[in-house]
Chain A
Amino acid sequence: MGGKYYVRGLFLTVLLLGALLLTVACSVATGSADISPLAALRVMASHLPGLSHLAGAHQNRQIDVIIMEIRFPRVMLAFFVGAALAVAGAALQGLLRNPLAEPYTIGVSAGASVGAAVMIIIFRHGTFLGNAGLPLAAFVGALITALAVYRIAQVDGYLAVETLILSGVIMNSFMSAVLSYLLTVAGQNLQQIVFWLMGNLSLRGSEYFIYTIPLLVVGILAICLYGRDLNLLTFGDETAGQLGLPVEWTKGIILLLSTLITGVAVALAGTVGFVGLIIPHLVRLVLGPDHRVLVPVSAMTGGIFLIWADTLARTVVAPVELPVGVVTAFLGAPFFVYLMRTRKKNGY
């Protein structure tokens, strides 16, 4: 059994890395400037240490700029946002033992939206934070809301899963009301807010994205390490405790990490929907519910999925760009319906 396990793990790793490479190459090559995927790969590889000879003397400086400064950062942003949302979704579905849970269940998206809307309306002339103001406001909004959700759900130091979902719903509707109010008074800023709400990977320059990568990477890897703990938590808090898990502490850590990476993702890309909901489902459908596999594979799949979605978003009606949230929802909703219809009898 051990051997089988390793073979499968190796196969999955190779498969997913290959898919990622292919996806990145295709996505980077796609756009108004005509570049082949192979050429795109060669340009990117030439920037790796020790591979600069690949660039060749004839390498076009303009193509190099397009790829390395415009398209590649955006693809990376899409990858990490997708990975973070999918991981948070997988973790929360297991933790809350609820297939409808997603990163936004705990109020993160509503909070981030309000934070962003406040920033756009009140500080429309900019703050000393410059371009970093908007993502920062969204992140703060997300954190405050999530903390409020936990605070409401916690009774006598015990965080009940059912109460957590409920308080998430409550906070979400409360924040939606606040957002509706803000939208009403937004005036000329309305379009900008709505565009942000639909999720978009083009708004943020790469300058602060760089600083958030370590946060996302650490968060994702840490959750991956909690795979077995998540497996135990699916049995319910009591049983998990009786199997040797310090339940409240573990739940706290996983919630904190999920909130953190979701908050960063939302701050960077707005509320991109459906990735956190359907990617874990898809992976579970194929590979089973073991979170030690589910979480890392969801990360890769979510990242790859969002790269494709973003590539579609910026090409289908070019030169106009669709918000990426529109594409994910467009692909995600029918797929989710399909899953529901076929898997209902077997549980999830």
Chain B
Amino acid sequence: MEIILKVHEVECRYGAHPVLKGMSMEIPRGCFLGIIGPNAAGKSTLLKTLAATLKPVCGVVYFRNEDIARIPRRDLAREVAVVPQESSFSFSFSAHEVVLMGRHPHQGRFSRATLRDLAVVRSAMEATNCWHLRDRSVLELSGGERQRVVLARALAQEPGVILLDEPIAHLDISAQLEVLDVLKEMNRKQGLTVIAIFHDLNLAAQYSERLILLHSGKIYAAGAPEDVLTAENIKEVYGAEVLVVRHPLTGTPQIIPLPRVNAEPGNGARPRLHLICGGGTGARLMGQLSRMGYPVSAGVLNINDTDWEAARALGIPVAEEKPFSSISEQSYEANLKLAMEADAVFLLETPFGQGNLKNLLVLEPLLEAGKRCYLVDPEHLVERDYSGAKVEAIAARLHSKGLIYLSGQEEVLRVVEGLSVGDGIGCGARLS
């Protein structure tokens, strides 16, 4: 594939403060490239360097194998358009006048706007949904409307490359998607190369083919979104704990921030906990407990189940079963083994069908072995029973063998705090 922009050993400084430290990369033509990174990572500086607005202290940016600093501004403006983060307007130009100024690099000093110029302007404004604003003064427009006018101005340049500095930062969600969809469509249909800085990592992942993650003036990671947006990378670069899951419709990685918990590293070992769950009933507790520092395991979970995804994202041990399959003898045993290693076992509010009845029955050998077992929300057990078996009766039988009832997941946290290592045994003795 043709390389349209090439950054070679570029260094930038503001005064003595280095912003880009020896950066190199190649951007193929027709690519949708997202640039991400925390504040002050050098994203805007990189973009300005690519636009030849900023001259690097050393290194070269090549546009189609030509040093970009040597290309006359007019010629470059026919190829590369820029949408800045914020546009200040000092005078009361109409939206149409502003977009028409995007035709400047195509016009001579003495020429007026041609019919073609006007047609290009119109289609650019229609594409960005601002044609109806054409007679309004840009000073009266809202931030989102103004941003669309500026985008239309950039498109009116008929560029092969468009550079955007957080183009959607001030827009609401529908306007964000509208702008990104326009770019994506031009990228697909006309081969427009789009290079955009994103603040929103999820949108970046969803729209970009390739991502570049910048960290203090260097490329920390580059590649496909799923390779760049990993929990480890985010933690390292942004210093934030996140969960990386997959978008349910597009399959792109999506970042979910994890709330901070006061996780005291704890004096000595913490009790092991085993959660039996499924269908999304355990994900929250799993995350909370493991971030509080407890060793957590889970089972039996069907592969691709919400809880299974969460467990995998958290990296905790799981007894797993094939998707949409009944629990086999093998996974039952795996579950039992994990549970036996724990200090306490919690059966959460998962619904029961024929397939996962064994997740209830597994408690019996555990209780018999004197393991401390809890059932969350026994009151609504009947409503969750799709198995045809008498789940409530089984629960009652287990209750008599020492199964402890908890009213909800808050209770679980309370119980967990009172636990200590080694509590798992001897509970039967205490009951007797």
Interface residue range, chain B: 35 or more
17 pairs, A vs B, C-beta closer than 8 Å: A97-B90, A99-B90, A231-B101, A235-B89, A235-B101, A239-B82, A242-B53, A243-B102, A243-B153, A243-B157, A244-B73, A245-B74, A246-B72, A246-B74, A290-B97, A346-B140, A347-B139
A214 at the interface (CB under 8 A from B): no
User: When the two chains form their complex, are residues B92 and A346 in contact, meaning their CB atoms are under 8 A apart?
Assistant: yes
User: When the two chains form their complex, are residues A244 and B105 in contact, meaning their CB atoms are under 8 A apart?
Assistant: yes
B78 at the interface (CB under 8 A from A): yes
Report the minimum CB–CB distance from B52 to chain A (whole Å).
8
User: When the two chains form their complex, are residues A228 and B82 in contact, meaning their CB atoms are under 8 A apart?
Assistant: no
A236-B88, A241-B73, A244-B105 provided; 17 other pairs, C-beta below 8 A? A2-B113, A97-B90, A228-B107, A231-B93, A234-B90, A242-B51, A242-B77, A242-B80, A242-B82, A243-B153, A244-B78, A244-B104, A245-B104, A247-B73, A288-B92, A346-B92, A347-B90
B204 at the interface (CB under 8 A from A): no
A/B pair count, beta carbons within 8 Å: 93
User: When the two chains form their complex, are residues B91 and A347 in contact, meaning their CB atoms are under 8 A apart?
Assistant: yes
B224 at the interface (CB under 8 A from A): no
Q: How many residues of A contact B (CB 8 A)?
A: 30
- Contact A348 B82, CB 8 Å, known A243-B77, A243-B101, A244-B105: no
A1 at the interface (CB under 8 A from B): yes
Kindly list chain B residues whose C-beta atoms are within 8 Å of the C-beta of A238.
48, 53, 84
- Contact A2 B115, CB 8 Å, known A244-B73, A288-B93, A346-B139: yes
Report the minimum CB–CB distance from B139 to chain A (whole Å).
4
Look across to chain B and name the residue whose beta carbon is closest to the beta carbon of A94.
B91
Kindly list chain A residues whose C-beta atoms are within 8 Å of the C-beta of B53.
238, 241-242
B42-62 residues with Cβ-Cβ distance < 8 A to A are: 48, 51, 53
A70 at the interface (CB under 8 A from B): no
Kindly list chain A residues whose C-beta atoms are within 8 Å of the C-beta of B107.
228
Look across to chain A and name the residue whose beta carbon is closest to the beta carbon of B97.
A290
- Tell which of B78, B104, B115, B157 touches A228, judged by Cβ atoms closer than 8 Å: B104
Kindly list chain A residues whose C-beta atoms are within 8 Å of the C-beta of B97.
231, 288, 290
B137 at the interface (CB under 8 A from A): yes
Q: In the docked arrangement, what's the CA distance between A348 and B72, Å?
A: 32
Q: In the docked arrangement, what's the CA distance between A236 and B91, Å?
A: 11
Q: In the docked arrangement, what's the CA distance between A246 and B90, Å?
A: 20
B95-111 residues with Cβ-Cβ distance < 8 A to A are: 97, 101-102, 104-105, 107, 109-110
Kindly list chain B residues whose C-beta atoms are within 8 Å of the C-beta of A31.
none
A5 at the interface (CB under 8 A from B): yes
Report the minimum CB–CB distance from A103 to chain B (whole Å).
19
- Tell which of A1, A242, A245, A288 touches B81, judged by Cβ atoms closer than 8 Å: A242
User: When the two chains form their complex, are residues B87 and A235 in contact, meaning their CB atoms are under 8 A apart?
Assistant: yes
User: When the two chains form their complex, are residues B92 and A289 in contact, meaning their CB atoms are under 8 A apart?
Assistant: yes
B112 at the interface (CB under 8 A from A): yes
A221 at the interface (CB under 8 A from B): no
Kindly list chain B residues whose C-beta atoms are within 8 Å of the C-beta of A1.
113, 118
Kindly list chain A residues whose C-beta atoms are within 8 Å of the C-beta of B94.
288
Best-buried of B73, B90, B105, B153 by chain A (most CB within 10 Å): B90
Kindly list chain A residues whose C-beta atoms are within 8 Å of the C-beta of B87.
235, 239
- Contact A348 B90, CB 8 Å, known A231-B101, A241-B73: yes
User: When the two chains form their complex, are residues A289 and B93 in contact, meaning their CB atoms are under 8 A apart?
Assistant: yes
